[in-house]
Amino acid sequence: RSLTEAVGGDRIAVASLVPASMDAEDYQPKPEDVLRLRCARMVVRVGLDYDLWLDRLLLQAGEPELRRGGSGHVDASFAIAVLELRGMSVGPGDGHAHGSGNPHYWLDPKNAEIVTGTILEALARIDPAGASGYEANRLAFLARLDAKLKEWEARLSRLDAAPLVAYHNSWPYFARRFRLNFVGFIEIKPGIPPSASHLARMIETMRARSVRIVIREPNEAKRDVEFVARSAGAKVVVLAASVGALPGTGDYISLFDTNVAALESAFTAR
């Protein structure tokens, strides 16, 4: 939503089907979502199997231009260099693993240039009169983002490849951009809760690697995270994987501002 607003500015009105507090992969569409889609001229999706439920919803809405291949259908993952491609190796026991790759690509700020370019192309296609304004909005946003990225990289460089653990593997793009070192995940596989033996191995790994920071998202269960952190002498840091998931993360830039500040504070307080 935030990247679409950054390009569209005051010329468009944007609404999210999925509440900010919820993982899009787990969202159960509501009847009113069909009505909202019928009023839309464009739909922007994450793609990479993260929002497969949207296809059925678009069929129910009965608006051909919003479906895959339509003029108003935008897959924001288009042209992204996807990490963790698994292809046909994904099976029934793989939980939320994605054969199309890890879908959390927006957590690399550099990917915003690609995503906003895709959005710009679609907006200009359905609203040619606004094309120049959309382009100006995008360039202004990317200039702000580039300045902030330099700041974030400098601040997170202080972590100096310190080992980190997270509950869920939402962070490969974030880690690659900011050179963070994730050494394990509390989930056995994405979407599959950890067993007692897995938790024990994780605690052992954390002690051996001197892990002092464990990351969880606001919608993830506290119990296992806090148990592992307490047992290994680590601190829990809550990060937002999407805009609006935490207070102070109301747009794309503030999402990174908040996450960078939380990590920086936890590291310096070790």
Structure confidence by residue, pLDDT tens digits, 119-163: 999 999 999 999 999 999 999 999 999 999 999 999 999 998 899
Residue 191: predicted pLDDT: 79
Nearest to 221, CA basis, from 210, 231, 229 = 229
Which DSSP helix (H) or strand (E) runs through 235? strand 235-238
Same-domain pairing of 136 and 31: yes
Domain that holds residue 192: 153-268
Same domain, 177 and 249: yes
Q: What is the CATH number of the domain that holds 15?
A: 3.40.50.1980
Q: What is the pLDDT of residue 89?
A: 44
pLDDT at 247: 96
pLDDT in tens, 68-92: 999 999 999 999 999 987 654 444 4
Mark whether 258 and 234 lie in a shared domain.
yes
- The DSSP secondary-structure symbol of 56 reads H
123 and 178 in a single domain? The answer is no
Judge contact between 42 and 70, C-beta under 8 A: no
Cα-based distances in Å from 208 to 59, 194, 201, 203: 52, 20, 10, 9
pLDDT in the model for residue 86: 66
Asked whether residue 91 is domain-assigned, the answer is no
User: Do both 138 and 204 map to the same domain?
Assistant: no
State how far the Cα of 171 lies from the Cα of 36, in Å rounded to an integer: 31
Name the pTM for this structure. 0.91
Amino acid identity for residue 124 in this structure: A
- Indicate whether 89 belongs to any domain: no
Q: Quote the CA–CA distance of 66 and 55 in Å, as a whole number.
A: 10
Query: In degrees rounded to 5, what are phi and psi of residue 79?
Result: 75, 5
142 lies in the same domain as 8: yes
Q: How far apart are the C-alpha atoms of 29 and 61, rounded to whole Å?
A: 12
pLDDT digits (tens, 9 = 90+) for 174-191: 999 999 999 999 998 877
Question: In Å, how far are 53, 156, 163, 228, 238 from 233, measured between CA atoms?
Answer: 40, 22, 13, 8, 16
In this prediction, residues 252-264 reach a mean pLDDT of 98
192 forms beta bridges with 189
Is residue 184 located within the same domain as residue 251?
A: yes
Rg (CA), the chain: 19
Residues 49 and 126 grouped into a single domain: yes
Q: Let me know if residue 102 belongs to a domain.
A: no
Residues 6+ away with beta carbon under 8 Å from 61: 34, 37, 38
Answer whether 58's CB lies under 8 Å from 67's CB.
yes
Q: What is the tally of structural domains in the chain?
A: 2
- Please work out, in degrees rounded to the nearest 5, the angle formed at the alpha carbon of residue 207 by the alpha carbons of 203 and 212: 95
